[in-house]
Amino acid sequence: MTDPQLVLTERVRLALADAFGAEFADADPLIRPSQFADFQANVAMSLARRLPDRPKPRDVAQAIADRLGDFPGTVEVSGPGFLNITLGDAWIADHAAHMFDDPRAGVPTTAPAATVVIDYSAPNAAKEMHVGHLRTTIVGDALARVHEHLGNRVVRQNHLGDWGTPFGMLIEHLLDIGEPAAVAQLEAGEGTEFYQAARQMFEADETFKRRARERVTTLQSGDADTLRLWHVFMNATIRYFNKIYAMLGVTLTDADIAGESMYNDMLAKTCADLEASGVAVLSEGALCVFPPGFTGSDDKPLPLIIRKSDGGYGYATTDLAAIRYRVHDLKADRILYVVGNDQALHFQMVFAAARMAGWLPDSASAEHIQIGMMLGKDGRRFKTRSGESVKLSDLLDEAIDRARAAIADRGYDDATREEIARAVGIGAVKYADLSVSHDSEYVFDFDRMLTLTGNTGPYMQYAQARIRSIFRRGGVDPASVTGPIVIGEAAERALALQLLGFPAVVERVGEAAEPHRLCAFLFDTATAFTTFFENCPVVKEGVPADTRASRLALCALTLRVLETGLNLLGVPVPDRM
Ligand code: ARG
């Protein structure tokens, strides 16, 4: 364990249990970074209130300080009973050296490994892949990368919206315009236009409407010709999705597709089993689950409808079949649903119903990782100027174009400039999505996400590229650096202390499913590095050999942390910028 905050938490806990008895070992030492020392522990105030003889908090703090024993630093009691804790330089250097020697930079692997099913991206083929799906894709992919790095078994599930009544009209429209034209349009990412044209026919033309309805029936009955047409439609659509995934550098592949259609054959049994166990009941002709605690505006129990009165199944039916499959067949310990926050109620009710049915045992968790809406600069749902939804490939192309323009004057040859423009443009979009907590709304703003200052993708990419250039200039291969790390200047100390927090942050991002914590950490790291670099020459002439070796090691460790962190976020790491 290298994280100073965790180390101190453990130490202070032991000391207070030693001073006041094991029954108080549950007290949270409340260790926080402080402006007066490295850390401050505030536990003495709350503990004083719990102790039977109500001692003064200052005395409680002193008793803890006295029992910290061979503590690797200094502890002072201050104010009403704060513990000001400063770690010794040797301790910091020693732990930084350990981290430096470890190819995983101290990040532990989860033992035993858990199976984490991550449901993300999940665009709808029958509607449009809109910017909202961009965010679920990017956040979900970062979580998948983090869990894999932590040694968990990750199963990606792309729950495509690839089934349902709209496919009747989509297939009829495909027949009307001809397969080649339809395929070309869908592959080009014009699914929305395709959908709207089909919808228009459906509303304007009675014959088309009748054909569309009949087509739904033949599709559901498994008619071979109709299924072939459905495949033609879906394959072209998936080729477009894959183009977006490739542009984004997202790790989803065709093997991860587990769309709604996959559950089709399980829906009848899903309903039958729920009815047989009494979990679902008939209500006004529809089969419903009434999970306790959910009521509508009229205070009546809220139904989760799993079979409509016309016999049709819905979104919830599929999700119940899916949860059962994920627990039973995929052996999920944890299921993360990275989906828009407007579906919160749906997931709460699905999870509750699955627990009632016994399909989601206590040993497994299902978590809705709520994704906040993406807004335009006007504060409204993100749209083009003319009010249409934005085509994702256009949006990403624009990001790359803007990045290209920003680096136009840096004298790179065409190929290098193109590579950097892609890395920076895509990196900016992804980092902007990730750096804001996933459940808050966020304003999509090209200008802001592409600036080179602040908590942005380009700033983080630049920070690591700058370290690479230090090594290039010094003619040193980062892999050949050995240290040892010694702490001299305050900026060296602050950088090393910051780096020690990396493993705990990665673990926490996995636990809490919050990639923005990693962004914040990397930003603080880049800032600490900047201060270090401004104050501590590394490869300049006249720097003593041992100082140079130590600083090179700090540079190499910072580079490794930044690079690993950006990889975990799925943000490209360009060599130079
Ligand atoms: N296709 C859905 C949508 O775009 C998201 C699916 C999320 N996953 C799930 N298991 N329901 O809204």
Q: Which atom of ligand 1 is nearest to the CA of 124?
A: 1
Q: Is 339 in the pocket of ligand 1 (CB under 6 A)?
A: yes
Q: Is 159 in the pocket of ligand 1 (CB under 6 A)?
A: yes
Q: How far is the CA of 190 from the centre of ligand 1 (A)?
A: 20
Q: Is 319 in the pocket of ligand 1 (CB under 6 A)?
A: yes
Q: pLDDT of 52-103, one tens digit each? A: 889 999 999 999 999 987 788 899 999 999 999 999 999 999 999 999 999 9
Q: Quick one: CATH architecture of 90-109+405-443+457-577?
A: Orthogonal Bundle (1.10)
Q: pLDDT of 485-536, one tens digit each? A: 999 999 999 999 999 999 999 999 999 999 999 999 999 999 999 999 999 9
C-alpha to C-alpha distance for 366 and 333, rounded to whole angstroms? 9
- Which pLDDT score, from 0 to 100, does residue 462 have? 95
In our burial notation (b when 16+ CB lie closer than 10 A, e otherwise), range 314-353 reads eebbbbbbbbbbbbeeeebbbbbbbbbbebeebbbbbbbb
Q: Is 335 in the pocket of ligand 1 (CB under 6 A)?
A: no
ipTM: 0.99
Q: How far is the CA of 160 from the centre of ligand 1 (A)?
A: 7
Q: ω before 484 within 30° of 0 (cis)?
A: yes
300 phi, psi to nearest 5 deg: -80, 150
Closest residue (by CA) to atom 11 of ligand 1?
319
Q: Is 161 in the pocket of ligand 1 (CB under 6 A)?
A: yes
Q: Which atom of ligand 1 is nearest to the CA of 346?
A: 11
Q: How far is the CA of 127 from the centre of ligand 1 (A)?
A: 12
- Which pLDDT score, from 0 to 100, does residue 344 have? 97
Q: How many residues does the chain have?
A: 577
In which residue are the tokens 């980092």 written? 431
Tokens of 500: 């020690």
Domain boundaries, the chain: 4-87, 90-109+405-443+457-577
Residue 107 has, within 13 A of its CA and on its CB side, a CA count of 22
Q: pLDDT of 151-193, one tens digit each? A: 999 999 999 999 999 999 999 999 999 999 999 999 999 988 8
Q: Is 337 in the pocket of ligand 1 (CB under 6 A)?
A: yes
Q: How far is the CA of 323 from the centre of ligand 1 (A)?
A: 13
Closest residue (by CA) to atom 6 of ligand 1?
122
Q: How far is the CA of 122 from the centre of ligand 1 (A)?
A: 5
Report the chain's terminal Cα–Cα distance, integer Å.
35
Q: For 213-222, 369-378, 519-528, which range has the lowest pLDDT when averaged over its residues? A: 369-378
Tokens of 219: 């599709």
Q: Which atom of ligand 1 is nearest to the CA of 347?
A: 11
H-state helical runs in 437-499: 446-449, 457-474, 490-499
Q: Which atom of ligand 1 is nearest to the CA of 315?
A: 11
- Whole-Å CA distances, 364 to 330, 351, 356, 360: 12, 11, 14, 6
Does domain 4-87 fall into CATH 3.30.1360.70?
Answer: yes
Q: Is 464 in the pocket of ligand 1 (CB under 6 A)?
A: no
SS3 318: helix
Closest residue (by CA) to atom 2 of ligand 1?
122
Q: How far is the CA of 549 from the centre of ligand 1 (A)?
A: 52
- Whole-Å CA distances, 229 to 125, 135, 234: 14, 30, 9
Is 142 in contact with 434 (CB distance < 8 Å)?
A: yes
- Which pLDDT score, from 0 to 100, does residue 128 have? 64
Q: How far is the CA of 342 from the centre of ligand 1 (A)?
A: 11
Closest residue (by CA) to atom 9 of ligand 1?
159
- Which pLDDT score, from 0 to 100, does residue 297 have? 84
Our separate counts of H helices and E strands in the chain read 21, 13
Q: Is 322 in the pocket of ligand 1 (CB under 6 A)?
A: yes
Residue 399 has pLDDT above 90, yes or no: yes
pTM of the model: 0.94
Q: Is 119 in the pocket of ligand 1 (CB under 6 A)?
A: yes
Q: What is the mean pLDDT of residues 10-26?
A: 90
Is 84 in contact with 40 (CB distance < 8 Å)?
A: yes
In which residue are the tokens 């690797």 written? 72
Testing ligand 1's pocket by substitution, the residue of 157, 257, 343 carrying the most ligand atoms inside 8 A of its CB is 343
Q: pLDDT of 268-326, one tens digit each? A: 999 999 999 999 999 999 999 999 999 988 889 999 999 999 999 999 999 999 999 99
In which residue are the tokens 């201060």 written? 531
Q: What is the mean pLDDT of residues 397-412?
A: 93
